[in-house]
Amino acid sequence: MKKKFICVLIFTLIPGLVWCKNKSLETKVDEYLRPYLVAGTFSGSVLIGQGGKVLFEKGYGMANYELGVANTPKTRFHLASISKTFTSAAIMMLQERGKLSVNDDLTKFIPDYPNGQKIKIHHLLSDSSGIPNINNFPEYEVQVKLPHTLDQVIAMFKDRPLDFNPGEKDFSESSANWVLLAYIIEKVSGQRYGEFLKQNIWDPLGMNETGHHSSGGMLIPNRASGYQPVGLDRMENAPYIDWSFKTGNASIFSTVEDLMKWDQALYTEKILKKESIAQMFANHYGWFTNKRLNRNVVRYSGRSPGFQCELHRYIDDDAFVVVLSNNYSTTASLIVNDVAAILFGEKYEIPQVIAPKKLPNEALNKFVGSYQFGPDFYIPNGVYDLKIEDGVLFAEAHGMKNALVPQSDNEFLERLFWSKIIFHAAASGEITDFVWQYGTEKYAARKIVSK
């Protein structure tokens, strides 16, 4: 079902630098988020906490457009890959109990697994096993809509050759690793994956709004529906997923309030010993550690059709920022950084909403063609095919078609990714390439095929 927004949704990334000192936190966050809301590229919940106290929490946009239900801090969202933070904690807990070791070979749990003697639990937890990512299989789009047991999902990739030898690469994301970890949790504990997490993590922490979406028919009160932007100004339902297929890697739902309880628990030994937590973070077992805003941050993100989520823990500041979105646009990854900047009094940028730039088909025709990125792009050497449909310029790539919203005669906004595309021309006026910009990241793509 598609829903027409009542406002004109043309927008840009041309920012205005802001350094707010006198406005309330809510006013600052509201002001910052307004362009994303007007553009229909964010809906969800945001929470800012520090020192164990909630400083700000608020829902934005709709949890369900069809029923007119708004998002609140108590809305439940699918966490996508943030689910891995709980899977990794469960493995560390079983290691503490002497049930397994991260140095155990996979053959200890699945004796006939090909190359299993080379693959350790460590490799699964750190996404360095070389097992291919089931998300990239041709049959994935069909299979992800069907109910599956863990055995059935494992059978899809078990006999496929490794992409590389275990440990040869530090990180190569594969959902298959986390399906295997969920299987190991069940085999070692004697409990179902969701039951183990509930009994050993969520219940002890009072995370009563968190759970494992074990089947497509499961009823989950206060759960947000997933949406994605289409065209210049519309929304539609995201493709259906039976979340049982995503067990271990993306099957958990939660709220911003429950996730703050998770954040606070990781400063204590309520769930895991400090040594286990340190090992989990140091080896990137379901977490990334790096610098943001010149501060140490432990973080993870997740994105599945209809949802994008970001969880950032500024551990030296005991500060926590979480953004849960039921909009498939990648804006949450920008929002979480800027909301943290608001918290710390750092500079940040507010995208501006401008009047639409109308370009006739004759002006759009020069952009039509195929453009290839270099090896440094997210998908190395990826190709964007640009086409015109009903007076709108679209970019088709990797099975997705995204509308490009004109901002000037040579600048467009890719609505699904909130990225700028800036075209360059030769002296003859012929388009030669474009620069794709997401936040501060820039990648060049040269034109390889004209219309």
Main-chain dihedrals φ then ψ at residue 220, nearest 5 degrees = -130, 100
Domain count, the chain: 2
Candidates 254, 280, 355, 291; CA nearest to 47 is: 254
Residues 250 and 126 in one domain: yes
Distance (Å, whole) CA 9 – CA 42: 13
Does 48 reside within a domain? no
Amino acid of residue 29: V
Task: Say whether both 389 and 269 belong to one domain.
Answer: no
336 part of a folded domain:
no
Q: Which domain-ending residue is among 273, 301, 327? A: 327
Q: Of 275, 306, 327, at which residue does a domain stop?
A: 327
8-state DSSP, 305: T
d(CA 39, CA 418): 10
Concatenate the DSSP letters of all residues of 266-302 into one string: TTSSSSS-HHHHHHHHHTTSS-EEEEETTEEEEEEEE
227 and 295 in a single domain? The answer is yes
CA 211 – CA 189 distance, rounded (Å): 18
41: in domain:
no
On whether both 137 and 285 belong to a single domain, the answer is yes
Assign residue 218 the CATH number of its domain. 3.40.710.10
Is the distance from CB of 358 to CB of 406 less than 8 angstroms?
A: yes
Residue 279 shares a structural domain with residue 408: no
Q: Report the CATH number at residue 420.
A: 2.40.128.50
pLDDT digit of tens for each residue in the chain (451 aa)?
A: 444 333 333 333 333 344 444 469 999 999 999 989 988 899 999 999 999 999 999 999 999 999 999 999 999 999 999 999 999 999 999 999 999 999 999 999 999 999 999 999 999 999 999 999 999 999 999 999 999 999 999 999 999 999 999 999 999 999 999 999 999 999 999 999 999 999 999 999 999 999 999 987 889 999 999 999 887 778 999 999 999 999 999 999 999 999 999 999 999 999 999 999 999 999 999 999 999 999 999 999 999 999 999 999 999 999 999 999 999 999 999 999 999 999 999 999 898 765 567 788 889 999 999 999 999 998 899 999 999 998 889 999 877 888 898 888 899 988 888 888 999 999 999 999 999 998 889 999 999 977 6
Q: Report the C-alpha gap between 133 and 149 in whole angstroms.
A: 17
Final residue before a domain boundary, out of 310, 327, 344: 327
This prediction has a pTM of: 0.90
The encoded tokens of residue 137 equal 């299989």
Q: Is residue 377 part of a domain?
A: yes
Check whether residue 185 and residue 251 sit in a common domain. yes
Let me know: does 216 contact 206? Beta carbons within 8 Å: no
Euclidean distance between CA atoms 171 and 130, whole angstroms: 9
Q: What are 373's strand-pairing partners? A: 445
> Would 61 be classed as within a structural domain?
no
**Domain containing 441: what range?**
361-450
